[in-house]
Structure 1
Amino acid sequence: MYEEFKGTTALITGGGTGIGRASALALAAAGCTVTVAGRTVATLEETVRLIDEAGGIARHVRCDVSDEESVAHAVRAAVGDSGRLDFGVNSAGISGGDDLRATGDYPTEAFDRLIATDLRGTFLSMKYQLRRMRAQGFGSIVNIGSGASVVGVAGFAGYTAAKHGVIGLTRTAALDYGPDGIRVNAIVAGLVDTPLIAQGRSPEIMAARVAAHPIGRIAEPEEMADAVMWLCSSRSSFVTGTALPVDGGYTAR
């Protein structure tokens, strides 16, 4: 379906689980050499194993996206001997959990943790991906945002601030690097069905989460990966600086 991905390279942060893993599997299946990065080696190794078994090419690198040298190392590992980085998919992030607090009562340490991972982590990943892409004169970056990137969410000050920031970074980088042949976009993701999504949550909370999506269900990771593939491909060659909703109608409210 995407013949153009053969011989390309990609770095996917948060590649051990969820959207990151699904994106890695999809890109590798199309012929892209994939490097998955994250903090948990066991999940990264599982992603690589799945890709290997499917006949793809993948490697992993441990990376804390809030640490600059760690991110720089991950980008160097992804570039490897090929000397190129075609795609960056920035999926690493943490959530605000279910401990909802009004902004005036929001714990500063929780706010700082979310900004460090979800916003600083995206900035650092883009910083080093963009440097490589500008040197080579091409590339596409896809940042994974959420509904909280474009609408307010009561009780989630840290997460909402970080995810709003991701869209601001996406748009600014698109303007900065459009003349260099680089496209930068974001996905506004709805709630995605991963093994951890219901862990520790009551059926009532999960029912409310599902009900927030007019389409009547939450997403599968592969549905997000389909959007990632499109944004990386030449089929979206005139698309940059956008925040693409793939959210089951969540932000249409």
Structure 2
Amino acid sequence: MRINEQVVLVTGGSRGLGSETIKAFAREGAKVVINYFNSEEKALELKEQIGTNAIALQADVRDHEQVQAMFRQANEYFNQPVTTIVNNALVNFRFDPVSKKDASEISWADFQIQLESSIRGALNTIQAGLPDFKEIGFGRIINIGTNLFQNPVVAYHDYTTSKAALLGFTRNMANELGQYGITVNMVSGGLLKMTDASSATSEEVFALIESSTPLRKATDPNELADAILFFASPWGRAVTGQNLVVDGGLVMD
């Protein structure tokens, strides 16, 4: 299925990488669902910018019923089901190397917050979309990871662990759902310059990344968004269970 025939839902789609991903899919002619939790104003501004091919819907991805309702609303608005899910939502986290909790301070509750966001959120969206995916024999699921679990240059314990778990989740889902024409992949960026989540990162840290990366630059959110498009496009139809690292070559896997 070509991108311009699809309905694409991006969780956490109102800002940062989510916003750039929405714009990238809209640019290619897709209908887009801008999921948001708190950022209503930004979501509505983005919807206004795109026009009738976009709808902004509030839902906490950690809440099964809210996610189910969001999928129903999207189906009613576009009169066709969601075909691609981008699990991008990030709850209560900033890339702040100064104020992050170290090994003696981090709590299990901190881990749970990120696991709920990454794993439970992805599980809820997949389960909401799965009946339609099976019925039409097509589905694209793209989970957003990080290069930090392969190269933890900063020990963001809770965030990095949740994204490592998301890779295992991705591959299990890919194995089970492939029989229905559904692919499940992960796209892992480096520290993006600039998003709300990375705004606390100092220029010194960005300079260090740029100097040690083959492309000599920090990855821009729209560059990562373009890589996400690949997995939803016909060109990615034979790829599943993979983790594509998009960080200018800092991590070579």
TM-score, normalised via structure 2 length: 0.88
Distance 1:160 1:153, change over 3 A: farther
Task: Summarize deviations over 1:135-179 as a string: whole Å, max 9, x none.
Answer: 321111111111134444553211111101111111111111101
How far the C-alpha of 1:82 sits from its partner, in A, is 2.4
**Cα deviation digits, residues 16-75 of structure 1 (max 9, x gap):** 0122111211212222111110112111112212212xxx61001001111111111222
- Name the CA shift for 1:42/1:153 in 2 (closer, same or farther; >3 Å): same
Work out whether 1:231 is the aligned partner of 2:227: no
Is residue 61 of structure 1 aligned with residue 57 of structure 2? yes
Check whether the contact 1:72–1:128 (CA below 8 A) recurs between aligned residues: yes
The share of aligned pairs that are identical, in percent, is: 27
Give the match for residue 85 of structure 2.
88
Distance 1:77 1:174 in 2: 26
Q: Partners in 1 of 2:133 and 2:16 — Cα distance? A: 26
The aligned residue for residue 14 of structure 1 is 12
Query: In 2, Cα distance between the equivalents of 1:220 and 1:171?
Result: 26
* SS of the residue 1:131 aligns to: helix
User: Cα offset for 1:97?
Assistant: 3.4
Contact 1:96/1:159 (CA < 8 Å) preserved in 2? no
Alignment of 1:52-201 (within 5 A): 52=51, 57-80=53-76, 82-94=79-91, 95=93, 97-98=95-96, 99-152=99-152, 154-196=154-196, 199-201=199-201
Equivalent position of 1:42 in the other structure = 41
Q: Is the 8 A contact 2:7 2:80 kept in 1?
A: no
How far residue 104 of structure 1 moved from its aligned partner, in angstroms, is 4.2
Kindly indicate whether the alpha-carbon contact (under 8 Å) linking 1:149 and 1:167 is maintained by their aligned counterparts in 2.
no
Report the alpha carbon displacement of residue 11 of structure 1 after superposing the two structures with TM. Answer: 0.9
> Which amino acid is the alignment partner of residue 6 of structure 1?
N
Structure 1 portions without partners, runs of 5+ = none
1:68-105 alpha-carbon deviations (Å, 9 max, x no partner): 11111222222225242211111111435323344343
- Equivalent residues of 2:206, 2:218 under 8 A apart: no
CA change 1:198–1:157 in 2 (3 A) is closer
Q: 2: distance between equivalents of 1:126 and 1:211?
A: 39
One-letter amino acid matched to 1:21: S
d(CA) in 2 for partners of 1:195, 1:83: 32
CA RMSD in angstroms, aligned pairs only: 2.2
Indicate conservation of the 8 Å contact 1:16/1:38, yes or no: yes
Secondary structure of 1:34's aligned partner: strand
Q: Which residue identity lines up with residue 90 of structure 1 in the other structure? A: N
Unaligned runs of 5+ in 2: none
Q: Which amino acid aligns with 1:12?
A: V
Following TM superposition, by how much is the alpha carbon of 1:241 offset from its aligned partner in structure 2, in angstroms?
0.6
SS in structure 1 opposite 2:144? strand
Residue in 2 aligned with 1:240?
Answer: 240
Counterparts of 1:187 and 1:198, CA distance in 2:
18
CA contact (8 A) 1:63 1:70 kept: yes
How many aligned residue pairs are there? 248
The letter of the residue matching 1:166 is: L
Name the SS of the counterpart of 1:241 in structure 2.
Answer: coil
